[in-house]
């Protein structure tokens, strides 16, 4: 997929912003909606309560409640159902939340574009990493970047499975690194295949499957608990892992926790080879052959076209040229 120039990217951005504003035109004729209220709705959904949302926004719960109630009164609508123990979004509130997120992302993009056009360097670069990507691999790249440019703030986040793609498609990441499986198609972003991720099935030496001499069958696997990485996606369809429906499982949200459980003999599971290599070398984990499973995943780097500033461009080129990154994939 080609990387579009800045002028064309800006045209795409403003066209998207126009479409979002049109969808809100009935409300904005009298300008009763502001970005602060949309931020509050977003925080309530993400954190699950007024108290947690207030803490994340450095406001009091009473201040959040007042702003939401004021908008409800101004528009004669109900955004939250307060009849139960915890407030829940109404259908109108859910619509406001979802379309409001589009508007919030558009506003963030507008800020980025303004700073970028002024200096050439972005104020902030958001880089989302799949949890299979070892962060220490980026240390020399970060060091080289700050030797060249100290004004751009780097913001790294970690995600799993479809959640990595979701950071690009829904949450405004400028670059995602190590995302697996087929990328979503859109003119708004481009991608580059990094290579294939080699997955291996491992157990602790004390695990019953460690004594198996032949390739493990599905019937054998179903008798033992699998340790599975949860998909961090909130909106995208979750990706399928090497797991059978009838197999017992324990779910964790990062590879460190998964390795800990596997080393303790509390389950079995698949891990990228570069993650499990130290434990195979010490004998704390044992690699076993499985007759039927997906051994390799394709890994990608992807980026948003309309945020093609100097920092994003530098990072794309540096990552693709990095020998440390290349060694992770076949």
- The reported pTM is 0.65
Query: How many domains in the chain?
Result: 3
Question: What is the tens place of the pLDDT at every residue in 40-76?
Answer: 999 999 888 888 998 999 999 899 999 999 988 988 8
With bands split at pLDDT 50, 70 and 90, how would you rate the model's confidence at 30?
Answer: low
Q: Do 208 and 266 contact (CB within 8 A), yes or no?
A: no
Which whole-number Å values give the CA distances from 120 to 148, 190, 315, in the listed order?
Answer: 13, 20, 14
Question: What is the tens place of the pLDDT at every residue in 70-123?
Answer: 988 988 899 999 888 888 899 999 999 999 888 888 888 787 777 666 667 888
Which whole-number Å values give the CA distances from 229 to 17, 140, 303, in the listed order?
Answer: 35, 28, 24
Lowest-pLDDT range of 138-147, 237-246, 273-282, 301-310 = 237-246
Same structural domain, 176 and 306: yes
Question: What is the tens place of the pLDDT at every residue in 200-242?
Answer: 999 999 999 999 988 898 889 999 999 998 887 776 666 666 5
Whether 28 is in a domain gets the answer yes
Same structural domain, 114 and 256: no
With bands split at pLDDT 50, 70 and 90, how would you rate the model's confidence at 304?
Answer: confident
Q: Do 145 and 55 contact (CB within 8 A), yes or no?
A: no
Angle (CA) 324 155 278, round 5°: 35
Question: What is the tens place of the pLDDT at every residue in 262-278?
Answer: 999 999 999 999 999 99
Would the pLDDT of 25 be above 70? no
Question: What is the tens place of the pLDDT at every residue in 166-204?
Answer: 888 876 789 999 988 877 777 778 999 999 988 999 999
pLDDT at 4: 39
Which whole-number Å values give the CA distances from 71 to 3, 36, 67, in the listed order?
Answer: 41, 11, 6
Whether 4 is in a domain gets the answer no
Would the pLDDT of 141 be above 70? yes
Mean pLDDT of 23-36: 62
Same structural domain, 183 and 324: yes
What's the Rg (C-alpha) of the chain? 23
Same structural domain, 37 and 175: no
Lowest-pLDDT range of 25-29, 37-41, 109-113, 132-136 = 25-29
Same structural domain, 306 and 178: yes
Which CATH number belongs to the domain containing residue 291 in this structure?
3.40.190.290
Same structural domain, 108 and 152: no
What residue numbers bound the domain in which 266 lies?
Answer: 199-295
Last residue of a domain, one of 119, 137, 162: 119
pLDDT at 84: 82
pLDDT at 192: 92
Which whole-number Å values give the CA distances from 217 to 213, 223, 292, in the listed order?
Answer: 12, 10, 7
Which CATH number belongs to the domain containing residue 193 in this structure?
3.40.190.10
Same structural domain, 102 and 140: no
Percentage of the chain exceeding pLDDT 90: 41
Whether 133 is in a domain gets the answer yes
With bands split at pLDDT 50, 70 and 90, how would you rate the model's confidence at 5?
Answer: very low
pLDDT at 3: 40
pLDDT at 243: 63
pLDDT at 235: 64
Last residue of a domain, one of 93, 119, 145: 119
Whether 3 is in a domain gets the answer no
């Amino acid at each position: 997929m080609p990387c579009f120039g800045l002028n064309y990217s800006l045209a795409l951005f403003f066209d998207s912003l126009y479409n979002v504003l049109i969808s809100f035109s009935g409300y904005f004729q009298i300008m009763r909606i502001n970005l602060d209220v949309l931020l509050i709705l977003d925080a309530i959904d993400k954190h699950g309560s007024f108290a947690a949302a207030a803490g994340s926004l450095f406001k009091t719960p009473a201040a959040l409640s007042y702003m939401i109630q004021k908008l409800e009164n101004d528009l004669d609508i109900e955004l939250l159902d307060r009849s139960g123990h915890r407030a829940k979004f109404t259908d109108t509130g859910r619509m406001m939340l979802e379309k409001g997120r589009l508007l919030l992302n558009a506003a963030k993009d507008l800020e980025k574009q303004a700073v970028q056009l002024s200096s050439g360097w972005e104020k902030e670069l958001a880089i989302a990493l799949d949890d299979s990507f070892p962060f220490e691999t980026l240390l020399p790249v970060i060091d080289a970047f700050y030797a060249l440019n100290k004004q751009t703030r780097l913001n790294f986040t970690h995600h799993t499975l479809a959640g990595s793609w979701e950071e690009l498609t829904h949450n405004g990441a400028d670059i995602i690194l190590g995302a697996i499986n087929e990328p979503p198609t859109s003119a708004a972003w481009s991608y580059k295949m990094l290579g294939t991720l080699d997955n291996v099935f491992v157990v602790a030496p004390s695990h019953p499957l460690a004594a198996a001499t032949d390739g493990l069958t599905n019937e054998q696997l179903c008798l033992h608990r699998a340790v599975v990485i949860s998909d961090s996606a909130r909106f995208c369809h979750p990706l399928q892992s090497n797991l059978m429906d009838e197999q017992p499982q324990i779910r964790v949200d990062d590879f460190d926790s998964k390795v800990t459980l596997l080393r303790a003999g509390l389950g079995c599971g698949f891990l990228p080879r570069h993650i499990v290599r130290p434990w195979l070398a010490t004998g704390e984990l044992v690699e076993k052959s499985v007759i039927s499973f997906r051994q390799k995943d394709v890994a990608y780097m992807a980026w948003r076209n309309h945020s093609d500033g100097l920092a994003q461009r530098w990072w794309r080129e540096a990552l693709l040229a990095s020998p440390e990154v290349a060694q992770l994939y076949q």
